[in-house]
Amino acid sequence: MYTCLPKVFGFINMYTTSQIQIESNLKTTPKQRWENNKRAIVTLQELRASGKYPTSEQLITLGSFNGWGSIAQMFRLNPTGWERTAQVELKELLGETEYNNAKASTLNAYYTDPAIIRSIWNVINKTGLKNGRILEPACGTGLFFGGMKPHYQNKSELFGVEIDPTAAAIAQYLYPEAVIHNSPFESCQFPDNYFDLIVSNVPFGSLGISDPRYDYLRLKIHNYFLAKSSDLVRVGGLVGIITSSYTLDAPGSQRFREWLGGKLKLLTAFRMPNDTFKDIANTEVTTDFLLFQKIDDEKEINSAKWLFSNKVNFDSQNWQGVGSGETTEVYLNQYYCKEFDGRKYDLQYKKLIDDNNKDANYSKHFQNKIYTDSHHLLCPIGK
């Protein structure tokens, strides 16, 4: 069963001036993240006790809550320094049960940079979908809701699912017209073919999820969110998720990709640099943004373009201009392989052009070799 939190007044949007302060608060030091989280919890408790609507200042305080994944060190056994003080204070604020819930969430509670969210909405809006019935599973405080342009947000029905009770309660204050369920995603019961769009930065890792409907697929948590979303979205609707690169790359996920390809067609994919979440979530991880559309016609199946993954030799120095230059053998989804092959020598070509800029024919020769198609691999979304 799930809990729908009571609705109150409030409104946060990334296109308002208050969001500038919130974004700054989200991208700060671990110690300051803790202070921001503490203030948000105190404010939440005060609002619950008083029954009052939050002020604009209180909304900024609530919106600056950043989850627990980016400050997981404060939950260690016998921490020192500010982490020790923070652990004691948090136990007093939350009580044993909610403290343990917060501790358990550190594996997956990594929030998304608002700048990335705005780029994702730009990609989604280019498909023609502007508003509708929208679900954000693992919504945290509802950052994807905040990334919608206000006139699209006002015309939409918003639904969120969040397992952390603190984040879920904050999301309900920030987005009072949304329906926020404080529950694990696997426990939420929505009708199939119900949503126009499902968008999220889903939890990912080796953890499995128990759900009788999907147990036979033996899915990791990130693939489970995608599988369930594929049933909840309507035909023609969209699923846009940030997920582990293993969804597309891992040979062990090929069976799942084949299953998924019968339900969704891949519209576009972007492989993000591993430092994309460093500023806001204090973590480095390789992720993809994948945008799918629900299909019901076999003629629309396009999984042949993204079903398989190939071994490639990845040289970090030639690719990004940093690192030792040592070659590593990795699996890469076939969707990215053409671009990988086309771009892997670009930095070398550009250096040769710069070093020989007085020879027009020499420069033109290597200029023609530079990959000019759309970039989806280790680059900003939508660029």
Domains of the chain: 12-107 (no CATH), 114-300 (3.40.50.150), 309-367 (no CATH)
- Are 376 and 266 within 8 A, CB to CB? no
**Which residue in 1, 51, 6 sits closest to 180, CA to CA?**
6
Cβ contact 210:195 at 8 Å: no
Residue 370 contacts residue 261 (beta carbons within 8 Å): no
DSSP 102: H
Please give the pLDDT value at position 362.
61
pLDDT number for residue 133: 97
Written as one string, the DSSP assignment of 70-135 is GGGGGGSSS--HHHHHHHHHHHHHHHHHHHHHHHHGGGT--PPPHHHHHHHHHHHHTTT--SSEEE
pLDDT number for residue 2: 38
Task: Report the pLDDT value the prediction gives residue 371, as an integer from 0 to 100.
Answer: 56
Q: What span, in angstroms and rounded, lies between the C-alpha atoms of 274 and 290?
A: 16
Residue type, position 353, single letter = I
Alpha carbon 274 to chain centroid distance?
Answer: 13
The pTM for the full model equals 0.87
Q: How far apart are the first and last CA of the chain?
A: 42
Query: Which residues of the chain carry a pLDDT beneath 70?
Result: 1-18, 274-284, 315-326, 345-353, 358-360, 362-373, 378-380, 382-383
Instruction: Supply the pLDDT for residue 27.
Output: 85
Q: How many CA atoms lie within 13 A of 272 on its CB side?
A: 26
Q: How far apart are CA 136 and CA 159, in angstroms?
A: 6
- Say if CB 209 and CB 224 are below 8 A apart: yes
Helix (H, G, I), strand (E, B) or coil at 30: helix
Burial of 211 (0-12, 13-18, 19+ CB in 10 A): middle
Task: Give the pLDDT confidence score for residue 352 in this predicted structure.
Answer: 65
